[in-house]
Structures are given as C-alpha cells and as structure tokens.
C-alpha cells in the first residue's frame, strides 16, 4: 500500500478509537459523578507522547481546532436558549462576564504572586483562568440531566457564553506586555467595550439576517438546512472577529436570535444536528488539548497548580460573584451556588496556547500549570454539582423533558404547531379522558408516551400522571391549549 493512504488510514483508526473510548466512558462518568471533560482530557493525555506514543505538539493547530469547536458549542447553546430567559438573565450574567472576570483575574494573580510567581506571569495566569467555560457549563447543566432552577441555570449559561471576550483581551494584553510590545493603560477598557459592541451588533445582524434567510430559503432537501445554519455560525464568528469584535459573543447572540424564530424550519432536526456537532466538538477539543500535555511536566507544576485551583474555587470565584451579582436580588443559596459552580474547561487551556504561539518564555510551563488548575477544578467543584444542587434545594420543579421527540418535516412551510406536555398529578387534565378535554375544534392529541410505551390517543383513554402528550394545534389556539395543561404561553 502507498505510504500516504496508509498514514491516513492509521490516523482515522487512531482518532476513531479515541473518540469511541470517550463516548463509551460517558455512562461511567455519570455514575461516578466525574465531569466528562476530565475524562476526555485524561484520555488525550494518556494517548500522548508519554503514554501511547502519539506525538502532538502543534499548539497553533490546537488553537484553531479549539476555536472552531467553541464556535459550534456556543451556537448550540444559543439555539437552546429561550429569548425570555436571555432577557431575564442578561444583566447579572453580563456583570459576571465583565466585573466578575476582572475580579477573578485579580485574586488569582495576587495569589500566584504571593506563591512566588513574578508579577507579569502571575497577571497572565490570572487572565487565562478568569472565565468560565461554555463547554463545561453546558455539558454539566444540560448533559447531566440536572433540572436546575431556571434563574440560576440561565445565569451560569449566559455567563459562560458572554465572558470569553474579557478573558481573551486580558490574555492577549498581558502576553504582549511580557513580550514588551505594549504597555497596560486605560485604553484596554475601551478595547473591551469596543469588542463587545462590535460582537453584539454583528451577532444580531447575522442572527436576524440568518433567520430571514432560513424562513425564505426553499432548499432542495431537509439535510441542507443544517448546512446553512453551520455556515451562519461560522460567519457569525468570522465577520465580527475580522472587524476586531468578539466573535464568541457574536455567535452566541446570533444563535439565540435564530433559535427563537417561531417558524424555524426543521427545528427538531436542526437542534439534533447541532447537539451532535457540539458533542463531537467537545470530545475532539478535549482530546487534542490532552494530547498537548506532557505528564512529566505536570508533576513539576502540580503543587502550585493545586493551590491556585483551590484559591480559585474557594476565594476568587466567591469574591467575584459577590462583587458582581449581589445587587440583583439573588438569595443566599443562589449566590452560594453561583459561587461554587464556576467551571473551567477548554477556554483557559486554549487561551494558554496563545503565549506559547507568541514565543513567550515560560509559556509551556504556564500551559501545564493551567492544565492542572482545570483538572482540579473539574474535580472540585465539578464532581460535586449534583450533591450541591440537592443540598441547596435548587432543583427545578418544572416537568421533565419529553420522553420522545415528535417532529413533522416538510419542504413547505406548514401552519400549525406540535406541542409537548407533561401531565402532572396536580394538573387539571390528570384523570380526564381525552374526549372530555375542552380542546378547540382544530386541536387534537397525536400521541401519548406512557412509561416508555406509545399509547394511541383514543377518546376513551384517560390521562395519568407522568404521561407525555403531543398535541397538534394552531398558533391562534396555542394559548388556550397551554392553559388546559397549566402551562404559560411561551414568549
């Protein structure tokens, strides 16, 4: 066999095996309470040069792949964020994403300096680990099955989607200071505001433009709609970035706008595709970042990394939360939860590659130090999320998600909606036969899912607790149908 095809085949087998192992270990991590990101990182590290022998030291490629992965993860997160939740949680999340990031960076920098690092390197380390990570937060809050109270959950998710610009700017600025190419000044604050403004406006333009395009485009096949939304995600990141704006903020804002279109074609299919893309991105990104690590170097920085990680979890994050969101009326338990669930993940590790690419002396050591901090953070507080949620009584009383997804697909724009409802034992519909429900004339039950079985919706079927119903109705009748099942109208 020629050398080139053989190398390609070997690379595909290797990548496939690593991704398969990562996927198959997901159930085990759920039982043990270990965050998935930690497993993916460890698998990548074990497969590296000091383990299975995969020699990968391309920091620039890792940075590029990590950026693409974060774009897809943020876009998926935005698509699943309701507009009313976005509006409700925007102010406290924005405070955490700006004041909170600066406060976290300052406390970590001070701690690192007191522990023996020189001032400039301590400031750079604080900047790198200052922001929470969208991949980690979305994975824990959405992928773990935790039904968290809406206000707290949306604040954490929005913060992770909005805080990257500040961390990126601080990291770039302190790297340039270390290299002697710039000095710190008040202009940095204006740069931050400028990047946020360009990112926000650019994301809104792409979002509204993309939403109109999706509604008007008559594509030849349903499979082309995810191609178009993936293209919009890349454009939403790329255009503002070229204009010196925050591409990460832009892609999240664009996704929120597109996802809240009431007539989004192939909605369920699009969400599944982007969910899959986000998971592939998470697995691939953490594997690549794990491959960059040299385990022997971790031993040299482990003591310092553990101490700084504990400072981050028990001092820096709580101080940042108190400084940022105390004025927004959160209760004591909510503040404690926000302070504890400040998850770090791929973003700090990706940011740590920037000084390496810039050629800063000691950058490789800083990269490994950041890796230790992220791993410890994945264990404390990452592995305690379920316990803390229950201990503080912050699980949501909202009904569980539907047991199945029912979707009607068509290349034509159809009127009407398919709604999913959970029958609670306290619901007025519980114990009532379908024929007795006061439905409008153009509304009917399509399917009932009961204890894992599909039940035909005959008129004499009586609804029981924990049934999931799928109802087809018109847009005009939707508020009345929601009222029958005790559910408020979506905004």
Task: List, in order, residues 6 or more apart from 345 with CB less than 8 Å away.
Answer: 37, 133, 135, 136, 286, 374, 378
The pLDDT-based confidence of 79 (bands split at 50, 70, 90) is very high
- pLDDT at residue 488, rounded to an integer: 56
Q: Which domain covers residue 425, as residue numbers?
A: 417-484
249-274 confidence digits (pLDDT tens): 899 999 999 999 877 888 878 888 99
Both 196 and 298 in a single domain?
A: yes
Residue 396 lies in a domain: no
Residues 158 and 288 in one domain: yes
> Are residues 171 and 49 both part of a single domain?
yes
Mean pLDDT for the stretch of residues 164-179: 83
Q: What is d(CA 346, CA 353) in angstroms, rounded to the nearest whole number? A: 11
Give me the long-range contacts of 445-454 (CB less than 8 A, separation at least 24).
445/469, 445/470, 445/471, 446/406, 446/418, 446/470, 446/471, 446/472, 447/406, 449/402, 449/403, 449/404, 452/403, 454/404
Q: Are residues 382 and 435 in the same domain?
A: no
Whether the Cβ atoms of residue 166 and residue 126 lie closer than 8 Å to each other: no
Number of domains in the chain: 2
Highest mean pLDDT among 71-85, 195-209, 323-337: 195-209
Can you give the pLDDT at residue 206?
97
Q: Say if 401 falls within a structural domain.
A: no
Within a domain: 491? no
Question: Within the chain, how many helices (H) and strands (E) appear?
Answer: 21, 4
Out of 391, 425, 458, a domain closes at 391
Mean of the per-residue pLDDT values for the chain? Answer: 85
Q: Which residues pair with 469 in a beta bridge?
A: 421, 448
How would you write 200-224 as a 3-class SS string? Answer: HHHHHHHHHHHHHHHHHCCCCCCCH
* 268/228 same-domain check: yes
Residues 355 and 465 in one domain: no
Share of the chain above pLDDT 70, in %: 90
- Name the packing angle between helices 134-143 and 36-46 (round to 10°): 120
Three-class secondary structure assignment of 163-185: CHHHHHHHHHHHHHHHCCCCCCC
The pLDDT-based confidence of 235 (bands split at 50, 70, 90) is very high
Helix ranges (H only) for 25-132 are 26-32, 36-46, 59-79, 83-95, 101-114, 119-128
φ, ψ of residue 469 to 5 degrees: the values are -110, 145
Q: To the nearest 10°, the Cα dihedral for 201, 206, 207, 211?
A: 150
Look at residue 140 and tell me if it is in a domain: yes
Supply angle C-alpha 294, 297, 300, rounded to 5. 160
Mean pLDDT of 406-410: 70
- C-alpha span between 263 and 412 (Å, rounded): 12
Give the residue with greater pLDDT, 96 vs 179: 96
Q: SS3 for 108? A: helix
153 CA to centre of own chain: 12
Looking at residue 198, which CATH number applies to its domain?
1.20.1530.20
User: What sign results for the dihedral spanned by CA atoms 220, 224, 225, 228?
Assistant: negative
CATH of the domain at 451: 3.30.70.1450
**Residue scoring higher pLDDT (369 or 484):** 369
185-to-99, 189, 208, 393 alpha-carbon distances in Å? 17, 8, 36, 45
In this structure, of 144-148, 152-156, 221-225, the range with the lowest mean pLDDT score is 144-148
Q: Which residue has the tokens 């206000």?
A: 151
* 352-389 residue pLDDT tens: 999 999 888 888 899 999 999 998 988 888 778 888 88
Q: Do 305 and 453 belong together in one domain?
A: no
| Nearby residues of 36 by Cβ (< 8 Å), 6 or more positions away | 26, 29, 139, 143, 282
Q: Residue 406: inside a domain, yes or no?
A: no
Whether residue 227 sits in one domain with residue 193 = yes
pLDDT per position as a tens digit, 87-121: 888 899 999 988 999 999 999 999 999 999 998 89
Judgement on whether residues 229 and 123 belong to the same structural domain of the protein? yes
pLDDT given for residue 143 in this prediction = 58
Closest CA to 291 of 40, 69, 10, 11: 40
Q: If pLDDT is split at 50, 70 and 90, which confidence band does 82 have?
A: confident
Structural domain includes residue 464: yes
311 lies in a domain?
yes
Q: Using the predicted structure, report yes or no on whether residue 460 has a pLDDT greater than 70.
A: yes
**What confidence tier does 29 reach under pLDDT thresholds 50, 70, 90?**
low
What is the C-alpha to C-alpha distance for residues 482 and 490, in angstroms, rounded to an integer?
Answer: 9
Least confident of 129-138, 319-328, 354-363: 129-138
Q: Would 404 be classed as within a structural domain?
A: no
∠ Cα 202 165 139 (to 5°): 100
Q: Check whether 160 has a pLDDT greater than 50.
A: yes
- Is the C-alpha dihedral spanning 411, 416, 418, 420 positive or negative? positive
At residue 253, the pLDDT reads 93
Q: Quote the pLDDT of residue 42.
A: 80
- pLDDT value of position 262: 76
pLDDT, tens digit, 9 for 90 and up, residues 181-192: 666 666 667 777
> Could you give phi then psi for residue 82, rounded to 5 degrees?
-70, 145
Give residue 491's pLDDT.
36
Joined together, the tokens standing for residue 186 give 């008040």
DSSP bridge pairs for 444? 472
Same domain, 295 and 185: yes
- Cα separation, 194 vs 246, whole angstroms: 9
Distance, in Å, from the CA atom of 36 to the CA atom of 27, rounded to the nearest integer, reads: 9
Q: In the predicted model, is pLDDT for residue 490 greater than 50?
A: no
Residue 48 has pLDDT above 80, yes or no: no
- Residues 366 and 262 both lie in one domain: yes
Q: Let me know: does 150 contact 398? Beta carbons within 8 Å.
A: yes
- Same-domain check for residues 445 and 368: no
Which of the pair, 288 or 398, is modelled with greater confidence? 288
The closest alpha carbon to 163, from 311, 34, 39, 324, belongs to 324
Strand partners, 422: 468
Q: Is the dihedral of CA 224, 228, 230, 234 positive or negative?
A: positive
């Amino acid at each position: 066999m020629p050398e080139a095809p053989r190398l390609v085949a070997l690379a595909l087998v290797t990548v496939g095996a690593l991704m398969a192992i990562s996927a198959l270990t997901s159930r085990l991590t759920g039982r043990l309470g270990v965050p998935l990101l930690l497993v993916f990182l460890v698998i990548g590290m074990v497969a590296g040069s000091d383990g299975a022998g995969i020699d990968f030291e391309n920091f620039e490629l890792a940075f590029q792949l990590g950026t693409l992965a974060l774009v897809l993860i943020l876009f998926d997160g935005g698509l699943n964020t309701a507009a009313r939740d976005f509006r409700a949680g925007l102010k406290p999340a924005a405070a955490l994403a700006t004041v909170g990031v600066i406060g976290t960076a300052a406390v970590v920098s001070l701690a690192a300096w007191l522990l023996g690092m020189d001032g400039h390197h301590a400031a750079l380390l604080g900047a790198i680990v200052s922001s929470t990570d969208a991949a980690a937060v979305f994975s824990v809050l959405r992928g773990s099955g935790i039904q968290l109270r809406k206000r707290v959950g949306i604040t954490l998710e929005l913060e992770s989607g909005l805080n990257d610009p500040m961390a990126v700017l601080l990291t770039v600025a302190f790297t340039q200071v270390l290299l002697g190419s710039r000095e710190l000044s008040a202009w940095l604050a204006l740069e931050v505001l400028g990047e946020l403004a360009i990112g926000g406006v650019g994301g809104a333009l792409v979002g509204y433009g993309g939403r109109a395009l999706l509604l008007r485009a008559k594509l030849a096949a349903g499979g082309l709609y995810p191609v178009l939304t993936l293209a919009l995600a890349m454009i939403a990141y790329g255009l503002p970035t070229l204009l010196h704006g925050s591409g990460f903020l832009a892609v999240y804002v664009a996704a929120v706008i597109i996802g809240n279109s009431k007539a989004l074609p192939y909605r369920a299919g699009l969400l599944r595709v982007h969910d899959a893309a986000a998971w592939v991105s998470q697995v691939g990104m953490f594997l690549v970042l794990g491959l960059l690590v040299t385990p022997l170097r971790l031993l040299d920085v482990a003591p310092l990394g553990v101490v700084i990680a504990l400072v981050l979890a028990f001092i820096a994050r709580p101080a940042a939360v108190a400084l940022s969101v105390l004025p927004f009326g959160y209760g004591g338990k909510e503040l404690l939860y926000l302070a504890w669930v400040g998850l770090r993940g791929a973003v700090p590790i990706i940011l740590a590659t920037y000084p390496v690419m810039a050629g800063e002396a000691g950058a490789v050591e800083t990269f490994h130090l950041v890796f230790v901090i992220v791993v410890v953070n994945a264990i404390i507080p990452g592995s305690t999320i379920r316990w803390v949620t229950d201990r503080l009584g912050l699980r949501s009383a909202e009904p569980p998600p539907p047991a199945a997804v029912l979707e009607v697909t068509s290349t034509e724009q159809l009127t009407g909606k398919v709604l999913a409802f959970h029958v609670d034992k306290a619901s007025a519909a519980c114990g009532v036969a379908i024929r007795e429900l006061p439905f409008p004339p153009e509304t009917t039950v399509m399917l009932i899912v009961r204890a894992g079985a599909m039940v035909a919706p005959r008129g004499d079927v009586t609804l029981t607790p924990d049934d999931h119903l799928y109802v087809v109705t018109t847009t005009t009748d939707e508020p009345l149908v929601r009222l029958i099942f005790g559910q408020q109208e979506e905004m």
